[in-house]
Structure 1
Amino acid sequence: MTETTTPDAALETLGRVFGYDSFRGDQAEIIRHVVAGGDALVLMPTGGGKSLCYQVPSLVREGTGVVISPLIALMQDQVDALAAVGVRAEFLNSTQGPDERRRVEAAFVAGAVDLLYLAPERLAIESTAQLLDRGTIALFAIDEAHCVAQWGHDFRPDYLRLSMLHERWPAVPRIALTATATEQTHAEIALRLQLDDARHFVASFDRPNIQYRIEAKNQPQRQLLELLRTEHVGDAGIVYCLSRASVEKTAEFLNSSGIPALPYHAGLPAEVRAANQSRFLREDGIVMVATIAFGMGIDKPDVRFVAHLDLPKSVEGYYQETGRAGRDGLPSTAWLAYGLQDVVQQRRMIEQSEGDLAHRRRMSAHLDAMLALCETVECRRVQLLAYFGQSSQPCGNCDTCLNPPQAWDGTVPAQKLLSTIVRLKRERNQTFGAGQVVDILRGKETPRTLQHGHEQLATWGIGEDLSDQQWRGVVRQLLAQGLLATQGEYGILALTDASAAVLSGERAVSLRTEPERVARRAPKRQAALADLEPAQVELFEALRVWRAEQAKEQGVPAYIVFGDATLRAVALAKPATMDELDALPGIGAKKRDAYGQALLEVVAAA
């Protein structure tokens, strides 16, 4: 971490409780501002240390920090993680019985709670507000603040009531935090939470440890399996699918291929979802296959990859989901496979969505930005950060930087394809999806082309120079550029207002060539083992075994004992004394007292 000046009490708390000797980036200034009683709106990427921005002020200021979080299923783990470092943390939510709730309420009123987690819907209950009136509140932290954005990807109606915090407790500072927000979402958070006078902190959205890669679908399950077998053997990861059926099939495929995978979607019984989430958090090397309902607030630091088998609906959602990889700062992968059918499906979903015309236009704009990211020949990271208003230089660590695609003049193929659509409509009064149009261009004699007499069209067979896969790439990219549209349930191809300029030759079309696939790579070492000597690897593995035993004994996720980054630091330093442990990241006073001697014994025995 970069050394930063900050008030002594906050810095002392950071070291004693959390085991770090300095703050990162804007953390010090945010904490200073909130400790002094100021309101703050914080945009900081996942893994950037948002939690410390309210945890430290809650410990420094008088009273209890009240954290508003939508993540009931994760509150127990959040409280366990804080308890492990000596913080008196509690939660109140619908999972508790009356006796447990009374115990927590009494502790809060008595001033024996440092942080109290509440679900937003509890604030609608007057008895909860009356309870807060009886205690001393250090601050309100509104976590996952983007949930207040009404047309955002994680909208929660209960967040709209949170303006009552300022109205009922005007003297209590508030800090709203989110890992991602466009300028529009940023403004909506400030408006709906009445944070007009708050100080805004916008950290860099860059996650340099994540390698972004996007490729065209070609048997996507097999593509995923190759990624996991060659680069992420034994790693924990998340695979996102659009539908419940796809989740089930993909999890079954991975399990049958020898990779432990669990499904997660809204159609599963609540107890199955809870059990699968618990296994993912507590066991090493589990792959969670899920819809986007899974992942928000997941604190698991060693997720080494996030894969998408379907096109995300927006760049904001994609960034939020991929940000769940590599929270510990170690190298991780964000991998996406998408194809023509994804584009057709997303367009159809927009057409059928609820909401007015303005809403559908917003969704279309989100999809267009996502397609532009997929089809760019420039650095993925530059384009991704530009979406959030941040300029950057090529990263050298994404697929387009490492294996640059070539741009080629696709004007003539575009004209051939658009002309075929025109002729079908004008000469036959027919409309078709991409498959039939490509068959006509390739001159394929199928029952369907022959039935409709398509061999009589002037464009029959004029596209034999490109393969089916290449033509589908042309269609996909013309859709991405707005030179082609799809209509109806079956993805009928249609021209747009911009198509005429291509047909007349007034507009050139540049297309992207998929780079040659890199030869199959040998399995890669786990990120935490990179650059370690054999003896250090042996010690790291011994530390992981010890950690697993501790976690099982306590019934908590392994990362609550120690994260991989801390175990790696121990393996590198090989400490022999308690004083030497104090110098390592992630070992605060409580963890040193609880685990220090055992850690030294593992090191000595290795």
Structure 2
Amino acid sequence: MGELVALMEQDDIGTRAQHVLESVFGYPAFRGQQEDIVRQVALGGDALVLMPTGGGKSLCYQIPALLRDGVGVVVSPLIALMQDQVDALAELGVRAAFLNSSQSFDEMVQTERRLRRGELDLVYVAPERLMTSRCLELLESTKIALFAIDEAHCVSQWGHDFRPEYIRLSVLHERFPDVPRIALTATADQLTRQEIIERLQLQDAAQFVSSFDRPNIRYQIVEKANARKQLLDFIESEHSGDAGIVYCLSRKKVEEVAEFLNSHGINSLPYHAGMDTAKRSANQSRFLREDAIVMVATIAFGMGIDKPDVRFVAHLDLPKSIEGYYQETGRAGRDGAPANAWMAYGLQDVVQQRRMIEESEADDSFKRVQSAKLDAMLGLCETLSCRRVRLLEYFGQSATACGNCDTCLQPPVSFDATVPVQKLLSTIYRVEQRFGAMHVLDVLRGVESDKVKQWEHEKLTVFGIGADRGDAEWRAILRQAIALGLVAVDHDGFNALRLTEAARPVLRGEQKIRLREYQKPVSQRKKAVKPKGYVESDLSAEEQTVFDKLRWWRVETARKHNVPAYVIFHDATMREIAKAKPSSLDDLRHVSGVGEKKLETYGAEIIALMAELA
């Protein structure tokens, strides 16, 4: 009998969840594991959800919160984005609010009263606020439907987005043992996943791990020559008029690159932690609300960004880890349409990241983990095989060659580099492992610089033994030798190159080395081929006219409501409207992305617009 009742409850939950999906969010069907996750949490179970950006994680806690009694409490570190998230829910008819440090005291008190009176479906809370005794006592006096811990990888001390306050979130299990918890992240290797489970006490939680593959994203890593010019060529040839994000390591570089792009007619804005808070917030708001803006930023920007039509993410500096790279590139193409992840990568990137690890104040175990993560990132950059396969392998998932990354589309040529590497290692040894890359390569190539003459290194037997290759070729070989761990860089202020233990068998001829053959960077002037299997919705000339009119209407409507344009409708929904040309509210109701609240709010305007264009 008990089993029958349980089955009936599950069937009822499934029916109700489907109704909420259609009537509130306007979608005809769940995707992937969404339905199973919603059922697990709505029935009171805990869940750990690993789902790529754009996979629909938010529905996995929003729908259970609407199905269960009480308010869904969403723990999120994204204070700057909470207002947009609440506005988007309000457009759907969901009663939502937030509690964080950006509010005045009166605003906070008003939200707290709404919570006590049961007038909210969802409340977003910053972890710092959640941990206060005032907030915990408030929640204990409130009926809680569930706790959703977003960006759960922030709990990991080994990770790229560690937030100390996340470690204390185990208090939720201790003080609210009967309230289901769902932890969600788009990025977690096995080490991070285990840490999430232990620190949040989710040992008994059901785990839902979706494929990390983002097939609409094309991965491309190029040899760094003149990085800013290469970036400009990439944007002009493949993404003119598109929204994008460019990541740089330093604040100064962010400012310089934004200024450079603006000087070449690309509408760009800077974003970094050193900017005036009001200016930084204004730039983020413009990026979210306007079209065709390129945001040049440090990695402080982007976590949780919901803008669906970011068409490219570019890196001008090497990320510290594959998790960081995956998280950042994942901000492109959230709408499922073709997008690019582009990076310029060179020798200095390797040296700089190694130095940052060595000079950090962390303990040895942390440095070892960070070095291993960097090695994996370098392996992705230097791979001779499919980048997507390498990326997914890192997260413990298998794949076949994708046909949609640079190494698949233009396979790199490998060569037996044993002799050139031996020449390089011998030169480093003969100059007594006391000099940096420029001097070592001058000796190797036989360049009689002032420094070479000063140290009389033109008299060495290795002087000129690499004259058959150019400077750029040797830099590529040196970079790969460092990536392979054959050469290390001393961070003593001189960046002296030295040999590692791994260099011994190579010098003795006991180990063969294969490397990527150097390819001279070429200017990107041709429009790239669209990714295989992913084409943008082909609109006829008439449909394109309707779509353009809808976009104009959306911009004006978003401005009146003071929300980002995509909060009104996504491009995908408007394309469907342009194709369907609905003549009645009932016709419009069947378009994906049009829920009851949006139908009520905007339906008449859209039908009137359709009539004008008929």
Please say which of residues 287-296 and 448-457 is displaced more in the overlay. Answer: 448-457
Change (3 A) 1:577 1:354: same
Deviation per CA, 1:15-48: give whole Å up to 9, x if none: 0010101101110001000010000111111101
Is the counterpart of residue 457 in structure 1 residue 460 in structure 2? yes
Change (3 A) 1:525 1:420: closer
| Cα distance between partner residues in 2 of 1:414 and 1:98 | 65
Contact 2:47–2:205 (Cα < 8 Å) also in 1: yes
How far 1:592 sits from its partner (Å)? 1.2
Contact 2:76–2:125 (Cα < 8 Å) also in 1: yes
Structure 2 counterpart SS, 1:7:
helix
Q: Specify the alignment match of 1:594 in structure 2.
A: 601
Residue of structure 1 aligned with 2:394, choices 369, 374, 387: 387
Contact 2:338–2:536 (Cα < 8 Å) also in 1: no
Residue of structure 2 aligned with 1:354, choices 334, 339, 361: 361
How far 1:422 sits from its partner (Å)? 1.2
The number of residue pairs the alignment matches comes to 599
Letter of the structure 2 residue corresponding to residue 360 of structure 1: K
Change (3 A) 1:519 1:310: closer
Letter of the structure 2 residue corresponding to residue 267 of structure 1: G
Letter of the structure 2 residue corresponding to residue 438 of structure 1: L
Change (3 A) 1:522 1:536: farther
Letter of the structure 2 residue corresponding to residue 260 of structure 1: N
Is the counterpart of residue 104 in structure 1 residue 111 in structure 2? yes
Q: Specify the alignment match of 2:251 in structure 1.
A: 244
Q: Specify the alignment match of 1:161 in structure 2.
A: 168
| Cα distance between partner residues in 1 of 2:292 and 2:12 | 39
How far 1:524 sits from its partner (Å)? 6.7
Deviation per CA, 1:354-408: give whole Å up to 9, x if none: 2111111111111100000000010000000000000011111000001110111
| Cα distance between partner residues in 1 of 2:611 and 2:466 | 69
How far 1:525 sits from its partner (Å)? 10
| Cα distance between partner residues in 1 of 2:393 and 2:302 | 24
Q: Specify the alignment match of 2:225 in structure 1.
A: 218
| Cα distance between partner residues in 1 of 2:594 and 2:359 | 52
Q: Specify the alignment match of 2:476 in structure 1.
A: 473
| Superposed counterparts of 1:44-193, under 5 Å | 44-193=51-200
* TM-score when normalising by structure 1: 0.96
How far 1:604 sits from its partner (Å)? 3.6
Please say which of residues 359-368 and 483-492 is displaced more in the overlay. Answer: 483-492
Contact 1:232–1:524 (Cα < 8 Å) also in 2: no
Is the counterpart of residue 553 in structure 1 residue 584 in structure 2? no
- TM-align CA RMSD: 1.7
Residue of structure 1 aligned with 2:541, choices 534, 549, 557: 534
Contact 1:528–1:565 (Cα < 8 Å) also in 2: no
Letter of the structure 2 residue corresponding to residue 415 of structure 1: Q
Structure 1 counterpart SS, 2:306:
coil
Structure 1 counterpart SS, 2:49:
strand
Residue of structure 1 aligned with 2:49, choices 20, 42, 48: 42
| Superposed counterparts of 1:318-337, under 5 Å | 318-337=325-344
Q: Specify the alignment match of 1:500 in structure 2.
A: 504
Residue of structure 1 aligned with 2:317, choices 310, 313, 336: 310
| Cα distance between partner residues in 2 of 1:602 and 1:203 | 40
How far 1:490 sits from its partner (Å)? 3.2
Deviation per CA, 1:149-179: give whole Å up to 9, x if none: 1121111111111111111111100000011
Is the counterpart of residue 419 in structure 1 residue 426 in structure 2? yes
| Cα distance between partner residues in 1 of 2:380 and 2:566 | 33
Deviation per CA, 1:395-441: give whole Å up to 9, x if none: 1100000111011111111011001111111xxxx611111111111
Indicate the percent of aligned positions where both proteins have the same amino acid.
60
Residue of structure 2 aligned with 1:436, choices 423, 436, 439: 439
Contact 1:236–1:284 (Cα < 8 Å) also in 2: yes
How far 1:518 sits from its partner (Å)? 6.4
| Superposed counterparts of 1:22-33, under 5 Å | 22-33=29-40
How far 1:5 sits from its partner (Å)? 11
Please say which of residues 81-90 and 579-588 is displaced more in the overlay. Answer: 579-588
Deviation per CA, 1:489-542: give whole Å up to 9, x if none: 332111111111111111111010245656744457999965333332222222
Letter of the structure 1 residue corresponding to residue 347 of structure 2: L
Residue of structure 1 aligned with 2:371, choices 364, 367, 388: 364
| Cα distance between partner residues in 2 of 1:336 and 1:6 | 45
| Cα distance between partner residues in 1 of 2:536 and 2:336 | 13
Is the counterpart of residue 338 in structure 1 residue 338 in structure 2? no
* TM-score when normalising by structure 2: 0.95
Q: Specify the alignment match of 1:292 in structure 2.
A: 299
Change (3 A) 1:137 1:238: same
How far 1:553 sits from its partner (Å)? 1.0
How far 1:459 sits from its partner (Å)? 1.4
Letter of the structure 2 residue corresponding to residue 362 of structure 1: V
Contact 2:488–2:497 (Cα < 8 Å) also in 1: yes
Structure 2 counterpart SS, 1:95:
coil
| Cα distance between partner residues in 2 of 1:51 and 1:110 | 25
Deviation per CA, 1:215-253: give whole Å up to 9, x if none: 110101011111111111111111000011110100000
Q: Specify the alignment match of 2:589 in structure 1.
A: 582
Change (3 A) 1:522 1:499: closer
Letter of the structure 2 residue corresponding to residue 543 of structure 1: L
Letter of the structure 2 residue corresponding to residue 493 of structure 1: L
Change (3 A) 1:405 1:149: same
| Cα distance between partner residues in 1 of 2:265 and 2:524 | 19
Is the counterpart of residue 280 in structure 1 residue 284 in structure 2? no
Contact 2:223–2:521 (Cα < 8 Å) also in 1: no
| Cα distance between partner residues in 1 of 2:485 and 2:579 | 53
Deviation per CA, 1:188-232: give whole Å up to 9, x if none: 001000111111111110000111110110101011111111111
Unpaired runs of at least 5, structure 1: none
Letter of the structure 1 residue corresponding to residue 443 of structure 2: I
Change (3 A) 1:33 1:408: same
| Cα distance between partner residues in 1 of 2:388 and 2:424 | 32
| Cα distance between partner residues in 2 of 1:519 and 1:469 | 16
| Cα distance between partner residues in 2 of 1:131 and 1:271 | 31
Residue of structure 2 aligned with 1:206, choices 186, 209, 213: 213
Change (3 A) 1:449 1:119: same
Residue of structure 2 aligned with 1:235, choices 238, 242, 249: 242
| Cα distance between partner residues in 2 of 1:240 and 1:192 | 31
Contact 2:99–2:111 (Cα < 8 Å) also in 1: yes
| Cα distance between partner residues in 1 of 2:173 and 2:258 | 45
Change (3 A) 1:499 1:5: farther
Letter of the structure 1 residue corresponding to residue 463 of structure 2: W
Contact 1:69–1:119 (Cα < 8 Å) also in 2: yes
Structure 2 counterpart SS, 1:316:
helix
Structure 2 counterpart SS, 1:551:
helix
Q: Specify the alignment match of 2:4 in structure 1.
A: none
Q: Specify the alignment match of 1:268 in structure 2.
A: 275
Contact 2:233–2:525 (Cα < 8 Å) also in 1: no
Structure 1 counterpart SS, 2:323:
helix
Contact 2:573–2:593 (Cα < 8 Å) also in 1: yes
Deviation per CA, 1:562-603: give whole Å up to 9, x if none: 111111222232222222222221111111111122223333
